[in-house]
Amino acid sequence: MAKTKTAFFCQNCGTQYAKWVGQCSSCKEWNTIVEEVLERKPAKSWQSENKPITSNKPRAVTEIGAGKEMRIPTGDAELDRVLGGGLVPGSLTLIGGEPGIGKSTLMLQTALQLPLRVLYVSGEESQRQIAMRAERLGNLSENCFILTETNTARIFSEIESLGPELVVVDSIQTLHSDYLEAGAGSISQIRECTAELISFAKQSQIPVILIGHITKDGNIAGPKILEHMVDTVLQFEGDRNYLFRILRALKNRFGSTAELGIYEMKGSGLRQVANPSEILISNQNERLSGTAVAATLEGMRPLLIEIQALVSSAVYGTPQRSATGFPARRLNMLLAVLEKRAGFKLAAKDVFLNVTGGIQVDDPAIDLAVLAAILSSNADIALEGGYCFAAEVGLAGEIRPVPRIEQRIGEASRLGFKTIFVSAKASLPKTPQKIEVRKVSKVEELVRALFG
């Protein structure tokens, strides 16, 4: 049997070395030398040597046939929505997120509720720890098997004997291959282990889900090529101080990347949030100054969120500008528009802005709601009940239209709002709506409409 041959290459310039060195002599970069496999053993641990190896031949596109992809429903409506309808056989899915955000809980919860035979491979927790978490989730399943192993050869050996229909690996940074001498978590080991899992998934048509760590910058740990190798990249995000978690697709070869799923973290696991708008906005009967509701879009999903603003006299010499869940630079721009175009003197006042629910929003469609909340707090006058806003504000003080206005209006109408403010240039749906649509073209018109 042939021996595995490896060499060391610089990740920056590609220079080859016979052994590891700290600095590349060609580009003078430090810690860029990694070990890579040049020639490996022909037999794989998950392949029986008696099985013939099928060779692919070129075929015309018209002969192949682009039938609809088979999907494996996960039993989680939010996860299926983000994946595009479920798991595709033979696909490799990578899910990343901050420590403690709930990645392992989501994957274990999915593995327990599937009617398929699932192998959950953990390199971070013992079998007893995972069993305690499964008991806390309250959904013990005889189809879910737990394996605590980090060596890929032994993992594939157990897969061949068990015959699972889904494999979950927690996490890819803990695995190591016998082909390389580098330690687990290194760039070369992550790439090699992922390549072995991809080869296994494509040949066996068994979907594989990988859990990945992220760096302090928020990127998935390991080489950037890792995200190019897999079929789907999911990001599980949220603030640990809040209950809500958002699952979004950064890459999806089998579906759209515009969908997202929303969960609520509870003691018994993650609960699917079918209607997040009712949770993200407070009781509409309470009329408080400085609050406004915006109709935004997260991917293809319309959401109503509450914007809170507080305008007060500056205690110190320099006024404070603070925004939570909203870009601070955009807040400064909107304040400048109010100062220049509407004549409001806010240069000597502190302005604080908050998006409730702990979510991050960068949709320009909430600009009008931000202005309404700031004006309401500055005048200390609560807005009329049932008001909603969906428009962008330009530097000239004009109110600009936003895309998919029909979905925004429909979501506001479904939740019982009476009036929605949109741009005068917005193309409204021809079908009659149960909600009053008021058009405004400039910031001055918005001020007159709200406060007379």
For the annotated binding site, the residues are 97-104
pLDDT of residue 392: 96
Kindly provide the residue ranges of all beta strands, DSSP E only, lying in 40-160, ordered along the sequence.
92-97, 118-122, 144-148
pLDDT of residue 285: 59
Distances (CA, A) of 55 to 46, 95, 156: 18, 32, 22
pLDDT at 332 exceeding the cut of 90: yes
- In the structure, what pLDDT confidence band is assigned to residue 188 with cuts at 50, 70 and 90? confident
pLDDT at 304 exceeding the cut of 80: yes
- First-to-last alpha carbon distance for the chain, in angstroms, is 86
pLDDT of residue 1: 43
Q: What is the mean pLDDT of residues 242-247?
A: 81
Q: What is the pLDDT of residues 202-232, one digit of tens each?
A: 999 999 999 998 876 667 766 677 888 999 9
Say how far apart CA 4 and CA 152 lie, in whole Å.
Answer: 15
Give the percent of the chain with pLDDT over 90: 48
Kindly provide the residue ranges of all beta strands, DSSP E only, lying in 80-136, ordered along the sequence.
92-97, 118-122
Q: What is the pLDDT of residues 126-181, one digit of tens each?
A: 999 999 999 998 878 899 999 999 999 999 999 999 999 999 999 898 998 888 77
Q: What is the mean pLDDT of residues 31-36?
A: 81
Number of neighbours of residue 442 by Cβ within 10 angstroms = 17
Say how far apart CA 197 and CA 120 lie, in whole Å.
Answer: 14
pTM score of the predicted model: 0.74
Q: What is the pLDDT of residues 258-291, one digit of tens each?
A: 788 889 888 888 999 887 777 777 655 567 899 9
Q: What is the pLDDT of residues 61-102, one digit of tens each?
A: 777 766 666 899 998 999 999 999 999 999 999 999 888 889
Q: What is the pLDDT of residues 97-110, one digit of tens each?
A: 888 889 999 999 99
Q: Which positions ≥6 away from 46 have C-beta within 8 Å?
A: 156, 157, 159, 160, 200, 203, 204
Say how far apart CA 311 and CA 374 lie, in whole Å.
Answer: 7
Number of neighbours of residue 315 by Cβ within 10 angstroms = 8
Round the average pLDDT of the chain to a whole number and report it: 86
Tokens of 118: 């699932």
pLDDT of residue 122: 94
For the annotated binding site for ATP, the residues are 97-104
Say how far apart CA 312 and CA 345 lie, in whole Å.
Answer: 12
- In the structure, what pLDDT confidence band is assigned to residue 11 with cuts at 50, 70 and 90? confident
Task: Identify which of 291, 377, 395 has the alpha carbon closest to the alpha carbon of residue 336.
Answer: 395
The length of the chain, given as a count of residues: 452
For residue 266, the cross-strand partners are 269
- In the structure, what pLDDT confidence band is assigned to residue 50 with cuts at 50, 70 and 90? very low
Are 248 and 233 a contacting pair, CB within 8 Å?
no
Alpha carbon 414 to its chain's center: 26
Distances (CA, A) of 47 to 21, 43, 55, 208, 229: 36, 7, 15, 17, 21
Q: Report which of residues 129 and 433 the model is more confident about.
A: 129
